Every structure is written in structure tokens, then in C-alpha cells.
Amino acid sequence: MSFSAKSGAWLSSRVPRFWWWRPWQQLSCAAAGPAWSYFGGSRPRAILDMSYSRHFLDFQGSSIPSSMKKLVVTKLSQNFREAVTLQQDSPVPLPGDGDLLVRNRFVGINASDINYSAGRYDPSVKPPFDIGFEGVGDVVALGLSASASYTVGQAVAYVKAGSFAEYTVVPAKQAIPLPSVKPEFLTLMLSGATAYISLKELGNLSEGKKVLVTAAAGGTGQFAVQLAKAAKCHVIGTCSSDEKGGFLKSIGCDCTINYKTENVESVLRKEYPEGVDVVYESVGGKMFDLALDSLATKGCLIIIGFIAGYQNPTGLQPIKAELLPAKLLKKSASIRGFFLNHYLSEYKVALKDLLKMYERGDLVCEVDFGDMSPEGKFIGLESVFRAVDYMYMGKNIGKIVVELPHSVNSKL
């Protein structure tokens, strides 16, 4: 028996088993009328209340197990392999009244995953705790209140700790409905939104401005380049290979600088003697110093991260901080930090615009599945460790995504 939007299943509050029924059936009671009249007067959505069951059904009609794989931080460390353990038999979580149970199909890798495993965001949190920031998948079960907006089988994306798991409970209010399950949508959730909101709120972009994007071919850099070009700016991107430089050219970057083969400082001084107006900076350390020195009068440097230091015990790389006040004063320049959590009021509008741009074909959402990595494509939670290593080797072009395959083992 398959589960679809035209049929529902719910559990008796007294008997711990499924009660299957059809919308055209009537309840055995004194009052006449269709069955759904007892649930608010409208045809019911696909609902599963799993409060009394350890096994339940997904929308494809396969058995969802009572246990699953997930990654858990068991030791605080910036070394992801030391900090994180793959658990093979964790209980599949049960959604509450306002929740969705999402079967993850794709999960995103972020530079800050190792900040999270090191406990840098909330020192009060102690291991063990779940990890992974974002996922895309299918709703396989949901609570009664959540069914007002979602149905079983619907594609959704979300940003919530605990995505490195086969199943994740997501509050319906935090989920983003999608037309289909595609990894490209995942690139927008954190990486795209960070670029969109930071440049809009802090960048003050306008036609003709010169924008420098560091790590431009990475997960968020690719969007900073394209959004700055959409604002009719002149865009310069730093990268670590000619292949990445070619990708940047393909998405509109006006000037690329391979910092492995070129002197970034010399190129910027020669090509842009008056400096750049905006810097989208995510590297830190020496690159931060170079970017700061490249600012034009009244220029602005936006810090969205400093990946060069994340693997250090302090999470930082040294910068020439003693000269910072004088450099800013001399140019009437500014440095602004950006942390997405502080701009959540702008998030839904940003994501809506990004999705529209992608669907119109105005935005490239480059996904890197690790096909060119030594051990091949990132498939399964086991490969998250390799994916994190791959990022810190600087190999990726675009957003690193891990696919979580799902096989239908049994039909009911």
C-alpha cells in the first residue's frame, strides 16, 4: 500500500498501530458527513503521527527504519576527523506537532563545520552533539499542525544543526519549500544567502564600482562575483588555479588573479592604482592584509570569514593589526563583519530572489561533488570526512555537496 496525498494515515491515541482510511469513508458515529469533516471540514493532507510507533511509512511506500546513520561531535576539536564520529544506529527522530521529518538527499559542506566541531560558536555546548548546517530532501512524515503547509513527499531545504544525518527533524516554520530535490538549491541556503545579504546590506554596490572577491571560486565566492556583476560592478577574483580562473571568467569575472602563480599585491597595484571600492573577504591572514591595503578612499572591506585560520587552535591567522587604525583613517575606509545569524530578518526575501534568479537562468549554482577527488564522488555520510579535507586542500570549484543515496528496500 503506498502513501499519497490522496490518502492519510494516523494512529489511535489508545492503540499503538496504524489506522488506514480513505477520504470517502465515513466514520462510524452518530453524526453523518465525510470523514474529513472531523478534521476541520476540509480534505485531509497526508499526515503521520508517529508518537506511538517506531516504524512508519515514507511517501514511496518503503519502510523507514527505527535507526539511522548520523555524524556526532564526540570531542571538541578543529580537526574534523578527531572531533566527529559516525554513529551507525542512532534512533530516527520523531517529528512533533509543528515539525517535518526530512529524509536528507543532499547536505552541504561549509568551512565553518570545523568551527562548530571545535565549539567556537557556543562554548557552553558540550559533546556529544549533532553537526551539519544545511540539507535538501523529502518530507517523509510530519505533525498535524505542520500539515497545514506541507505534505508527505514534498521537497524542502533547511538550515539547522544536525543535517549530517539520514533523517533530520525540521520545524515547519524553518523549512523552505522547493519545486524539486536538486543540489543546486542547497548552494543558495547559506553560501548564496551570505553573499546576497552582506553585499546588499554592507556593500552599497552601484554601477562602476570595483569589487574584489577573495576565494572567488568557492561556495560563497561564486555568488559574490555574480551578484556584483548583476549590480554592474567591475569584479576581480582571487583563486588558486587556472581551472578556477576559467570558471570565474565563465560567470563574468572581469579579472582573475591566481595567487599561486601571481603576486596579488603587484597585480592590484598595477591594474587598480586607485584601489578597489569593496572587498568580499573570506580568507584572512596575509590575504586580509593585501585586501586591506588595496582599498580605495572610502572603501569597505566585508569580512564573511577567515578560513586560513580555522584549522589553528585559535581559529585565527595573524594579521598586521597594529597598523589597522592608521590605514583606515588614512583612507576613510571601513571594515564590516558579517554573520548571517544577525540578518535572519532578511533571509527569506534573499532566498526568494536567489531562487528566482536561478530559475530564470541568471545565476550559476556550481556544485562540486568531489568527482575529481582521489577517492571519487562524495556519496554517503562516510564521505563527509573526505569532503571536509577536500575543502581545506582548496580543491573545490563551487559548493561542496555530499549525496545521501536512498534505496527502497521493501514495498508495503
Query: For residue range 183-213, what is the model confidence (pLDDT) as tens digits?
Result: 999 999 999 999 999 999 999 999 999 999 9
Kindly give, in sequence order, each residue whose CB lies less than 8 Å from that of residue 400, ignoring residues fewer than 6 positions away: 108, 109, 219, 368, 369, 370, 378, 387, 390, 391
Which residues are CB-contacts of 252 (< 8 A; sequence separation ≥ 6)? 225, 226, 229, 235
Q: Which amino acid is at 300?
A: C
Average pLDDT over residues 271-278: 98
Say if CB 100 and CB 169 are below 8 A apart: yes
Predicted pLDDT at 37: 33
> Considering Cα of 338, then 341, then 346, then 349, what sign does the dihedral take?
positive
Q: Is residue 3's pLDDT more than 60?
A: no
Q: What is the distance between the alpha carbons of residues 377 and 404, in angstroms, rounded to a whole number?
A: 11
* Beta-bridge mates of residue 80: none
In this predicted structure, what is the pLDDT of residue 60?
53
- Specify the pLDDT at position 223: 98
Question: pLDDT band at 41, cuts 50/70/90?
Answer: very low
Mean pLDDT lowest among 53-62, 216-225, 297-306, 343-352 = 53-62
Query: 323: Cβ–Cβ under 8 A, 6 or more apart, which residues?
Result: none
What pLDDT is stored for residue 252 in this prediction? 98
Q: Residue 64: which pLDDT band, with cuts at 50, 70 and 90?
A: confident
Q: For residue 27, is pLDDT > 50? A: no
Residue 54 in this model has a pLDDT that exceeds 60: no
Better-scored residue on pLDDT, 24 or 322: 322
Neighbours of 375 (CB within 10 A): 9
Q: What does the pLDDT average to over 104-133?
A: 96
Residue percentage of the chain with pLDDT more than 70: 83
Q: What is the reported pLDDT for 404?
A: 97
Cell reading at 80 = 574534523
Are 117 and 181 spatial neighbours (Cβ–Cβ below 8 Å)? no
Q: Given pLDDT bands bounded at 50, 70 and 90, which one contains residue 46?
A: very low
Residue with cell 573526505: 386
Q: What value does the mean pLDDT take over residues 256-267?
A: 98
Q: Residue 221: pLDDT above 90? A: yes
Q: Give the whole-angstrom CA distance, residue 275 versus residue 399.
A: 29
Give the integer Cα–Cα distance in Å for 216 and 222: 6
At residue 6 the predicted structure's pLDDT band, cuts being 50, 70 and 90, is very low
As a whole number, the mean pLDDT across the chain is 87
- By the 10 Å C-beta count (0-12 exposed, 13-18 middle, 19+ buried), 110 is classed as buried
pLDDT of residue 65: 82
User: Euclidean distance between the first and final Cα of the chain, in Å?
Assistant: 5
- Phi then psi for residue 22, to 5 deg, are -115, 145
Q: What is the pLDDT of residue 1?
A: 34
In which band, very low, low, confident or very high, does the pLDDT at 407 lie, cut at 50, 70 and 90? low
Question: Above 70 in pLDDT, residue 147?
Answer: yes
**Alpha carbon separation from 386 to 118, 340, 395, 403 (Å, rounded):** 18, 26, 12, 13
Please give, one letter per residue, the 3-state secondary structure of the chain. Answer: CCCCCCCEEEECCCCCCEEEECCCCCCCCCCCCCHHHHHCCCCCCCCCCCCCCCCEECCCCCEECCEEEEEEECCCCCCHHHHEEEEEEEECCCCCCCEEEEEEEEEECCCCHHHHHCCCCCCCCCCCEECCCEEEEEEEEECCHHHHCCCCCCEEEEECCCCCECEEEEEHHHCEECCCCCHHHHHHHHHHHHHHHHHHHHHCCCCCCEEEECCCCCCCHHHHHHHHHHCCCEEEEEECCHHHHHHHHHCCCCEEEECCCCCHHHHHHHHCCCCEEEEEECCCHHHHHHHHHCEEEEEEEEECCCHHHCCCCCCCCCCCHHHHHHHHHHHCCEEEECCHHHHHHHHHHHHHHHHHHHHHCCCCCCEECCCCCCCCCCECHHHHHHHHHHHHCCCCCCEEEEECCCCCCCCC
Which residues, in sequence order, are CB contacts of 308 under 8 Å at separation 6+? 283, 284, 285, 286, 287, 317
In this prediction, residues 346-365 reach a mean pLDDT of 97
Supply the pLDDT for residue 289. 97
132 band by pLDDT with thresholds 50, 70 and 90: very high
pLDDT digits (tens, 9 = 90+) for 73-114: 999 999 999 999 999 999 999 999 999 999 999 999 999 999
Question: Taking 90 as the threshold, does the pLDDT of residue 247 lie above it?
Answer: yes
pLDDT band for position 258 (cuts 50, 70, 90): very high
Rounded distance, CA 125 to CA 188, Å? 28
Residue type, 99: D
pLDDT (0 to 100) of residue 233: 98
Give the model's pLDDT for residue 16: 27
pLDDT of residue 103: 96
